[in-house]
Structure formats: structure tokens, C-alpha cells
């Protein structure tokens, strides 16, 4: 039989998994743990290996600003949804339908962010020179290795260079 402790532990695990999944939203182009800092989405680590021109770099900065705005616009809603899950898990009889519906809402927000990030990437890719396209294809086939954790800029470290102002919270919102 599930005790309240087991329910809370399961809830903590669920919230941790959701938080880790939504980190992908936060770690778009130039995030503090992102490509120039050592970690981040593989596609952006590849793009940042290319010799981008000033216009392409400006596009990346615009994408970063758009993503930051998306996070800010959705932060309150995400926190409410996470609180809903937590409240259900803390109740004597958690309602799985409410939890499932709430997870679906969180996933929809994450999906919207991923779609926007991919659309942004595709618009950047459309500007690639033939040399950039060839290098991108080569890097896509043989992606650069992800540096070990602990290398690159860390949370709380210097915030110079590309990256979100102060970096995103662990859950991306």
C-alpha cells in the first residue's frame, strides 16, 4: 500500500524528471551551459562550430532573446502546473487524471519551445553558405564530443560572453 512518504518520494522523482526534461527548453543557443560553455543541445554545439558571419550571429542573438521571452512568458504557468502536481501528490488520494492532464500541459509548453527552436534553426540554416552547409553535414555525421561535466562556465561563474543574463533556472523556467 502506498504511504504518504512513498507518494511524496514518487512525486519528487516525477518533478525531477519533468524539471530535467524542461532544461532542454532553457538550453537553447548560447545558454550558460550551452554550446559555447560546453554543454547544451547537440545541434547548437554543431552550429557554433561553424564560422558564422555577423548576420548569422545576430540571428542567434535574436533567437536567444525570443527564447528568453518565451521562458519568462511561461514561467508563472509552469510553476502553477508543477504546484498542481505537487498538491495532488501530497493529497491523501492523488488524482491520476489531474496529474496526467497537468503533465500534458507541461509537455505542450515544452513542445512549443522545441518547435520554435527548430524553426529558428531552419531559418538560420537557410542562410548557410555552401562551405557552411558542407561543414554542418560533416559535423552532423560526426558531432563534436560533449565535454565532461564540470568544464566550461558554471552556474554562478562569470557571465561574460554569450549566454542568458544570469542563466536559466534548472527547470528552464
pLDDT digits (tens, 9 = 90+) for 21-71: 444 444 443 443 333 444 456 777 788 888 899 999 999 999 989 989 999
pLDDT of 9 > 60? The answer is no
Task: Tell me whether residue 43 is in a domain.
Answer: yes
**What does the pLDDT average to over 110-132?**
93
DSSP for residue 91: S
Backbone angles phi, psi at 41, to 5 degrees: -60, 135
pTM here? 0.59
Task: Tell me whether residue 125 is in a domain.
Answer: yes
Task: Tell me whether residue 17 is in a domain.
Answer: yes
Angle at 28 between CA 154 and CA 45, to 5 degrees: 75
* Residue 49: predicted pLDDT: 85
Task: Tell me whether residue 148 is in a domain.
Answer: no
* Residue 13: predicted pLDDT: 52
Task: Tell me whether residue 149 is in a domain.
Answer: no
* Mean predicted lDDT score pLDDT of the chain: 74
Domain count, the chain: 1
* Residue 94: predicted pLDDT: 94
Task: Tell me whether residue 44 is in a domain.
Answer: yes
* Residue ranges making up the domain that contains 44: 4-141
* Residue 27: predicted pLDDT: 41
Task: Tell me whether residue 91 is in a domain.
Answer: yes
Task: Tell me whether residue 67 is in a domain.
Answer: yes
Q: Nine-digit cell at 100?
A: 496526467
pLDDT tens, 122-149?
Answer: 999 999 999 999 999 998 888 877 666 6
* Residue 145: predicted pLDDT: 73
Task: Give the C-alpha separation, 40 to 25, whole Å.
Answer: 10
- Smallest CA-to-CA distance from 136 within 38, 28, 45 is with 45
Determine the 3-state secondary structure of 164 from DSSP: coil
The gap from C-alpha 159 to its chain's centroid, in whole angstroms, comes to 18
pLDDT tens, 75-88?
Answer: 999 999 999 999 99
Amino acid at each position: 500500500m502506498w504511504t504518504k512518504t512513498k507518494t511524496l518520494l514518487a512525486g519528487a522523482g516525477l518533478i525531477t524528471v519533468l524539471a530535467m526534461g524542461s532544461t532542454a527548453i532553457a538550453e537553447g543557443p548560447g545558454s550558460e551551459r550551452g554550446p559555447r560553455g560546453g554543454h547544451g543541445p547537440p545541434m547548437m554545439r554543431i552550429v557554433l562550430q561553424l564560422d558564422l558571419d555577423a548576420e548569422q550571429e545576430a540571428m542567434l542573438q535574436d533567437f536567444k532573446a525570443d527564447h528568453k521571452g518565451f521562458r519568462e512568458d511561461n514561467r508563472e504557468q509552469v510553476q502553477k502546473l508543477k504546484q498542481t502536481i505537487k498538491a495532488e501528490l501530497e493529497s491523501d488520494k492523488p488524482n491520476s487524471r489531474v496529474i496526467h492532464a497537468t503533465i500534458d500541459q507541461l509537455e505542450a509548453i515544452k513542445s512549443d519551445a522545441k518547435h520554435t527552436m527548430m524553426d529558428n534553426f531552419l531559418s538560420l540554416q537557410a542562410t548557410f553558405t555552401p562551405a557552411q552547409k558542407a561543414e554542418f553535414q560533416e559535423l552532423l555525421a560526426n558531432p563534436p564530443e560533449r565535454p565532461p561535466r564540470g568544464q566550461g562556465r558554471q552556474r554562478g561563474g562569470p557571465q561574460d560572453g554569450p549566454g542568458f543574463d544570469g542563466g536559466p533556472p534548472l527547470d528552464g523556467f
